[in-house]
A = this chain, B = another copy of it.
Amino acid sequence: MDEIKTLIDRMARGARRAARELARLSSSVKNDILLRTADRIVEAREGLQAENEKDLAAARDKGLSAAFIDRLTLSDKVIGSMADGLREVAALPDPVGEIPKMWKRPNGLTVGRVRIPIGVIAMIYESRPNVTIDAAGLCLKAGNAIILRGGSDAIHSNLALSSILQEVLAEFSVPGTAAQVVPTTDRAAVNELLKREGEIDVIIPRGGEGLIRFVAENSRIPVLKHYKGVCHVYVDRGADLDMAREVCFNSKVQRPGVCNAMEGMLVHRDIAEKFLPLMAEAFRDAGVELRGCERTCQLVPFARAADESDWGREFLDLILAVRVVDSMDEAIDYIASHGSNHTEAIITRDYARARRFLSDVDASLVLVNASTRFNDGGQLGLGAEIGISTSKLHAYGPMGLEELTTTKFIAFGDGQIRS
């Protein structure tokens, strides 16, 4: 226990020192570090896969699920996409040093805001070793030091990736504490990280709701997170029903296991009779189980009656809650009480109702006539993302490079004093 404490102390203090150096690095050095890491990961593929195989063998021995093993695997494709990700981040504009605004005060003082790194970021995540590289790339580009604590089932893979990071940092004379992987699977390390409020500026947990709740409830350090994505599409009366079917289908089926997939579909009563039977058939053909309100079940004989717990539930699977509503207001109220502030969409032809839905629905992304699946940093045009936040503070929605920075004020004077 004391050993872990000493280890995390040393890592956190090292990260804090490195953060001061990282804040001063030029964009070109940061980009070169990312590009060199990309090359090295590809070159070192066989070595990485040998280490990864140790994790995979242990996971197989434990009888972990195929989906788990899939996420854990550093296949050629995953290694290629880690490298591509780093190259994409290198190509993005550097947020640090940007001056989004500057103005002059009546006394001549020129005041501005300049974008700066946050400082030290800790990522706590489950067993997807690609997150190690994706997160390190984003954090370094934004000038932050990062402490990475991945799932214990990925420890060999993460340490192998770490040694590549260390090697590249050393090549550019950047302290190795700029990007550190916690070298132990002892859970006490997480508890120690959560206490380092003097050194760590923000914690980003990624994984299941249990992990995220644990971090949020045990940390005094600000946490950027979303617990879950309970996303809805509301099909308004008078909607283009072909468009509605395509968008709802895409929102549910294209990748059902992710946070921006639709979990509930709300249908205005005026179009329910026309829309629901055909929509339901399409879902049935795709293997989606429907859990409906009474009116839904009348219109769709093969829908199962929803029980109370299905409303607002994150299925992360080919299951959908379906409800007929009497009005858009009912839909908006339902979303306010059952949504998770993640992603909400309306399908409508009505200008005024589109405007009202956009303004009255409180979610990190509100869409008109488009799939919920667009709530993603890349899809929205932010470049890569480190996660999606449904916290309102600091970041609400996908978090890209800009969300890994803050701004400080600067002022240029010629002797101004306050009277």
Contact = CB atoms under 8 A, between A and B. Distances in A.
Label chain A's interface by main secondary structure: mixed
Nearest to A341: B408
A396 B406 contact: yes
A118 interface: yes
Given A374-B109, A396-B408, A408-B363, A417 B116 contact: no
Contacts of A408: 362-366, 396-397
A216 interface: yes
Contacts of A220: 216-217
Contact of A409 (B103, B114, B397): B397
Interface residues of A, number: 69
Contact of A412 (B201, B363, B368, B392): B368
A371 interface: yes
Interface string A336-365: 100000000000000000100011101111
Contact of A370 (B217, B222, B411): B411
Contacts of A365: 408-411
A381 interface: yes
Given A360-B24, A368-B411, A408-B363, A381 B222 contact: no
B119 A411 contact: no
A406 B393 contact: yes
A62 to B, nearest CB: 34
A308 to B, nearest CB: 19
A286 interface: no
A413 B367 contact: yes
A8 interface: no
A263 to B, nearest CB: 16
Interface in A97-143: 97, 103, 105, 109, 111, 114, 116, 118-119
A63 interface: no
Nearest to A219: B220
Interface centre among A240, A363, A369 (most CB of B within 10 A): A369
Interface string A229-253: 0000000000010010011011100
Nearest to A217: B220
A86 interface: no
A224 B24 CA distance: 27
Interface in A398-418: 398, 406-418
Contacts of A406: 392-393, 396
A83 B105 CA distance: 24
Interface centre among A103, A336, A363, A396 (most CB of B within 10 A): A396
A247 B417 contact: yes
Given A222-B393, A393-B393, A418 B250 contact: yes
Contact of A367 (B217, B354, B411): B411
Given A336-B20, A362-B23, A408-B396, A369 B415 contact: yes
A129 to B, nearest CB: 25
Nearest to A412: B368
A211 interface: no
A393 B204 CA distance: 12
Contact of A373 (B103, B201, B336, B417): B417
Interface of A: 20, 23-24, 97, 103, 105, 109, 111, 114, 116, 118-119, 201-202, 216-217, 220, 222, 224, 240, 243, 246-247, 249-251, 254, 336, 354, 358-360, 362-371, 373-375, 379-381, 391-394, 396-398, 406-419
6 contacts: A105-B381, A201-B393, A216-B220, A249-B417, A366-B411, A373-B418
Top 3 closest pairs, chain A to chain B, by CB: A370-B413, A250-B417, A373-B418
